[in-house]
Amino acid sequence: ALGNDALPAASLLGQALTRKEIAIPALDALSAIGPAGIKKALPGLIQALETERQDFQVRVVRLLGEAGPGLGRAGFEALETAVQWGDDPVRAAAVGALGKTTVGGGESRRAIELLIESLRLDVDVQTATRMATASKTISTSTQTATASVFMP
């Protein structure tokens, strides 16, 4: 790890995350600096989650998890949002990151609630998909049966 010697660069690295051509090296550098650098670059990391690039969102979320228990309220809320609204890989990474950033108490309880909510959403989507597929199958079968009865 680069450690505290590179800490002054952390804010600039956070700002660099908006520039696609240097965003990945900036993430790597923040990871090398460690938790203190991640916390210092937090505004840029949170803004970087707004990208449409899912693979990049996953990397940002994982980096937030590397900050550990001292991530802070803003970072924790960004991970909460990723669990609630992210695509499956982002949600999964956010749940893992939340596990690394909590040490107990209310934050741990909230992380568990979000995980349960996330799993419930997955089940609801799977159930709705199965119901729609079954309904379509029944509808197609009914149409085929009706057509065969009324066709000479």
pLDDT digit string, tens, across residues 30-61: 999 999 999 999 999 999 999 889 999 999 99
- Please give the C-alpha separations between residue 122 and each of 63, 80, 87, 118, 125, in angstroms, as whole numbers: 25, 16, 11, 6, 5
- Using one digit for the tens of pLDDT, what is the confidence trace for 65-109? 999 888 888 998 999 889 888 788 898 899 889 888 875 555 656
SS3 104: coil
Which tokens hold the place of 49?
């989650």
Given a cut of 60, whether residue 152 has pLDDT beyond it is no
Rounded-to-integer distance, Cα 78 and Cα 71, Å: 11
Q: HSE, CB side, 13 Å, CA atoms: give it for residue 36.
A: 10
CB 26 within 8 A of CB 17: yes
Q: Of 20 and 1, which is predicted with more confidence?
A: 20
Predicted local distance difference test score (pLDDT) of residue 63: 96
- Using one digit for the tens of pLDDT, what is the confidence trace for 134-144? 666 665 554 55
